[in-house]
Structure 1
């Protein structure tokens, strides 16, 4: 009886083995075959971009993007590059500039104010008029005041809007046309050796906290390259013509937030 049971079990196992082999063969015959005539899909390589600061190439997915430019690191984004441009500023190049005299590095920073149209900066939608003005694109029909100034050719290195946005028009290595007839400690033509910074506003009210913060950050970056910078207002170097940045510019707050020494502020920190 036991022999018959073993024979029955063996026959069952043999049947299952033969059935499994047949199913495997059937599955193999029914599996999709590669089409030798169909070209393989090409794998496109990832686009490479160049760091605006150090010029190293890297995959676009690994780059930091700002104002349609690429950077390889936060450090390079937030710095003054070797060509005199701040990475985290909006670049809006002005035609109103020229080269500095040979071997002249800026050692003076001049603070201005500007509002186009006058007094209308409070709606925080007029900053583009300043950009247009420095790029010689101001529409003289858009406002009566614009017709008076549309033909002027002026620029500044930087503009800080009411919301704290930093715009750069001219490389710090070049001369912007911001100071006009001016004199600093017996040195005339301050454009030759200065950097101009415009704050959006006028002399009738205070500037925004965001503007002081952006200004402090900017000066920190500039001071690494130009450690001899001194800091003045436009009225300090052109007292017969100009009043900016005005009595509402807080020089004490400016000094506190920047950490500038008193020696680099030759006109002091009192309102003026």
Structure 2
């Protein structure tokens, strides 16, 4: 995959602007959070994820949508099952993906909160039980390499899951995510 640096937009991704973002308070990017999402739960494809991240989810289209349509959330990227990537928020901006969470910074040895302030959020279209596709791993590796090249504070030790930073609330990307394969591909 060819990529170029153009501000905080990855040229490989299709751009769909989410209103759910704001300025990073310190301009720092030093953490990559990997998430998983499917809407409705357990179903893949369709436009519901993009609708959620752009505040256009129709609550009457599915019972679960009525529970979440009011949310104002986003991620920087969504990687679909076929490996296509959608970018919702410029990586220099703060996306609203981490929620209440905390992370022990391995370098500073301090517990950090307000993770949206300094993290990039990548959603994989999927759930806890369904294996992710080879195309998704390829796209995830490509965007991760782009991010590491772009942000000096970001490295392989600063990549984690939503479940790790919010263990009482979240389980994603779940046991179906193959961390060993991801790191192996990232090291090539």
TM-score (norm 2): 0.92
After TM superposition, list the pairs within 5 Å mapping 1:163-182 onto structure 2.
163-182=82-101
Report the structure, 1 or 2, having the larger helix content: 1
Picking from 109, 122, 145, the partner of 1:220 is 145
Counterpart of 2:187 in structure 1 is 259
- Once superposed, what is the RMSD of the aligned Cα atoms? 1.4
Is 1:109 the counterpart of 2:28? The answer is no
After TM superposition, list the pairs within 5 Å mapping 1:50-199 onto structure 2.
78-81=3-6, 83-102=7-26, 104-121=27-44, 125-126=45-46, 128-185=47-104, 186-199=111-124
| Structure whose alpha-carbon radius of gyration is higher | 1
Aligned residues: 179
Provide the C-alpha distance between the structure 2 equivalents of 1:190 and 1:138, rounded to a whole number of angstroms: 25
Q: CA deviation at 1:228?
A: 2.4
Counterpart of 1:248 in structure 2 is 176
Counterpart of 1:14 in structure 2 is none
What SS does the corresponding residue of 1:162 show, helix, strand or coil? coil
Q: CA deviation at 1:212?
A: 0.2
Q: For structure 2, which runs of at least 5 residues remain unmatched after alignment?
A: 105-110
Provide the C-alpha distance between the structure 2 equivalents of 1:140 and 1:242, rounded to a whole number of angstroms: 22
What SS does the corresponding residue of 1:120 show, helix, strand or coil? coil
Contact 1:178 1:191 in 2 (8 A): yes
What SS does the corresponding residue of 1:187 show, helix, strand or coil? strand
TM-score (norm 1): 0.64
Counterpart of 2:163 in structure 1 is 235
